[in-house]
Structure 1
Amino acid sequence: MALRGLSCCVPFVLRQCNSTRLTVLHAPVKFNWFTCRVEARRYLLSEDVVRLEDFQKTKLAVARQLSGSKGHFFNTLNQKIETNQLILKDELKLLLLLCQTPEDMVLARNAIYRYHAENVNMAFGEFRFGPVFMRLCYELGLADLALNTLTDKRLKGFFPDCTSFNLALDLLFSKGHFEGALELFGEMKAQGVAFNKDTFTLAFATCYKLNTPRSYQICLALLEEGQAKASFIPRHAYCIAVAFALTQDDVKRAQSIYSQIMNTESRLCQNLRVLLLAKAGSMNDAVSILTAALLSDSLQLVKKPDFCQEVVDVLRERSKNGPWSVQVERLFKKLKDAGQVNPQKLEHLLYRTPTGKRKLLSFLKEGNRRTSSRRTLRPLLSE
């Protein structure tokens, strides 16, 4: 029942967009890849998924190799659209990779309408236009365009992959358009696009941000549906669901969800564990966790476990005027003196940007490995 609501040729210059984490590609002058990497931060998708830097490099290479002017090519495509001529796959690919402004994106969407009308019953092969268009929306901060395009009935079937939806969802989330993101989850389900691990994280986080009884029921329904289908739901998503249940004062449900997390050694899990125990009234167990963290035998250069101020404050409030009050206050002072209480809110941990897959250092990569000695020129006996 809860899910029923869901169905309803020159280098480029980067300039800042409305969102502090997004960058916009504009024409000409110099490109700073380090700046791009720092400014293009997201909330819930890793760089492995967004791949904004690689995408911008591809755009730069295509712009440099373009024969003729971009304006002439765009005018030619516009004439084809106006006269209902056939738009080829390579033409649409080139058009998308040359887009630099919101005005360019209007032409791109019109070209997609025309292309999809001619190829609605044909497979697009290995190339997928959806992620390219959504990365453009992500790059330019066009959240409304992304939402309207994905929910446009005329383009049904053009975005069959969850990557396109996830990019749009992350963009909507980062801009605070939570109702729009919730609408998009409904569209995914209506089109039969399967959720992957990133979708579950985005879905739970969106529901948590809305923080209403309806969004809570949707979150629980999605969780149960994902488990019934044996979908992979990441630890990050489970943690958000636990925090949401606690916010809704559903302690029993929070305990049930937390018990399904396989590895609870992370900083976020430990904070949630203390918060869960405090709200459940299990003061002894909560104090035991904090005491163990204080007395942990970590190496001097290894940071000891720390806890959010608001988590510890909940424990202090729940123990106030009770038998555990003195011990909790004493423990709190020791943790604070040891630097194990930080002012960060729990949401800071919940809405972190995943690191993604760690890349090997260049000298460890297979293609860069030396096979002969630089001194003797003889083969290295490393195997």
Structure 2
Amino acid sequence: MKEFVNNDSTAMVFTDDLKNMVHLCEAEDVDLIGNMIKMFNEQNKEARFGNFVFGPVVMRMYHHFDNPDAALKIFEDSKACDFFDQLATYQILMDLLYKHGKYDQVRSVFDVLTEKQIRMVKYPKNAVILVMAACYKQNTKDSFEYASKLWSNLLSVGHNILRKSVSLFAGLALNQSAPHITLEALSTLSSQKYISVFNLKAAALADLNRLEDIIPILRSTLDADRPEMQNNGFTEDVIAKIQKNVEKGTLNKVMEKEFDLILKGLSQRKLILPTTLDALLCKEIKYFDTTDRSPLHTSFRNYRSTTHTQPHREGLKQMY
């Protein structure tokens, strides 16, 4: 196939050629795949009548080989124009770039996606999660401005923003010394009963020195039926931030005593979690809905493995 692609300018790459090579190649063959994609995409488009969609399958190949540079290179190649115009392809590429800390590139790919509006969708929900995660990880003034502009655009078009995206934007605002924006972002959620939400809210209120408003949030965890059996608790760094503000003596004696009792109860019920708010927000999404698998979208994985054991994390169904 290398000889065929490199030396025969009149040769044609057919659907089965590319399909077989994508599923049989090894890591060192990704350049060959790239050349085949460009030939396949440029040659006599009117002569191709197959309905096989290569974009997600090819991008899963790059993800499998953990090669973000090659994936981005072929994605940006003008000779591969329209080859990757599927929402799933963008999501897989953004995930791979995010995994390798290429946050600027995540934003660039997202910008292309919003400009093209594939399938008439300007802000795909999963892509919004990834770009918000990239901005959160960058944690710079520029990334905060980018995320804030995106947030405003999402609200202006009535976008149903997923809780994960809201939490990441709220966390970025908190890190950028804008706890008031954190609270405003969290207020858009219909439910405040999720662990990331009440941790962010408590941390933001602590930064605003509104300690009396934090006590009901802490108490609600203890008042819940069997709270230790739920997805509940406060991270160590959030509790430490609250304690630091309490030690400044801004609470009256009655409220300070109540806080100490609540803190003791949280500790006894093991609701002070040995983790950080950052780790909570950046926890990998494991859940995969097995009822919505398309043979086309999973074809690359089917070739690579005969078993599909997808881990499930409680609570991810509610993310949507």
TM-score class, shorter-chain normalisation, is 0.7 to 0.9
User: Aligned residues: percent identity?
Assistant: 23
* Aligned residue among 265, 282, 301 for 1:334: 265
Matches of 2:15 and 2:160, distance apart in 1: 34
Q: Which moved more, 1:124-133 or 1:135-144?
A: 124-133
Q: Which runs of 5+ in 1 are unaligned?
A: 1-73, 361-383
Q: Decide whether the 8 Å contact of 2:22 with 2:33 is kept in 1.
A: yes
Is the counterpart of residue 148 in structure 1 residue 67 in structure 2? Answer: no
Normalised TM-score (structure 2): 0.80
Aligned positions of 1:203-352 closer than 5 A: 203-298=131-226, 302-303=229-230, 305-324=232-251, 325-352=256-283
Q: Which runs of 5+ in 2 are unaligned?
A: 292-320
Shift in alpha-carbon separation, 1:299–1:350, aligned structure 2, 3 A: closer
Deviations 1:220-270 (A, max 9, x none): 111222233333321110111111111111122222211111222111112
Q: Decide whether the 8 Å contact of 1:156 with 1:191 is kept in 2.
A: no
3-state SS of 1:86 partner: coil
Greater helix fraction, Structure 1 or Structure 2: 2
* Aligned residue among 148, 162, 170 for 2:95: 170
Shift in alpha-carbon separation, 1:311–1:124, aligned structure 2, 3 A: farther
RMSD of the alignment, in Å? 2.4
Structure 1 counterpart of 2:59:
134
Matches of 2:289 and 2:280, distance apart in 1: 20
What residue identity is the alignment partner of 2:275? Q
Q: Which moved more, 1:280-289 or 1:235-244?
A: 280-289
Decide which structure has the larger Cα Rg and report it: 1
Aligned positions of 1:26-105 closer than 5 A: 74-75=1-2, 78-84=3-9, 85-101=11-27, 103-105=28-30
Normalised TM-score (structure 1): 0.68
Matches of 2:115 and 2:77, distance apart in 1: 12
Shift in alpha-carbon separation, 1:158–1:124, aligned structure 2, 3 A: farther
Matches of 1:124 and 1:228, distance apart in 2: 40
Structure 2 counterpart of 1:179:
104
Structure 2 counterpart of 1:111:
36
What residue identity is the alignment partner of 1:93? K
Shift in alpha-carbon separation, 1:305–1:127, aligned structure 2, 3 A: same
3-state SS of 1:275 partner: helix
Q: Decide whether the 8 Å contact of 1:238 with 1:258 is kept in 2.
A: yes
Q: Decide whether the 8 Å contact of 1:87 with 1:115 is kept in 2.
A: yes
Deviations 1:31-88 (A, max 9, x none): xxxxxxxxxxxxxxxxxxxxxxxxxxxxxxxxxxxxxxxxxxx35xx41453121111
Deviations 1:277-306 (A, max 9, x none): 222322122111112212333277x24721
What residue identity is the alignment partner of 2:24? L
| Number of residues of Structure 1 aligned to a counterpart in Structure 2 | 283
Matches of 2:138 and 2:288, distance apart in 1: 30
Shift in alpha-carbon separation, 1:321–1:167, aligned structure 2, 3 A: same
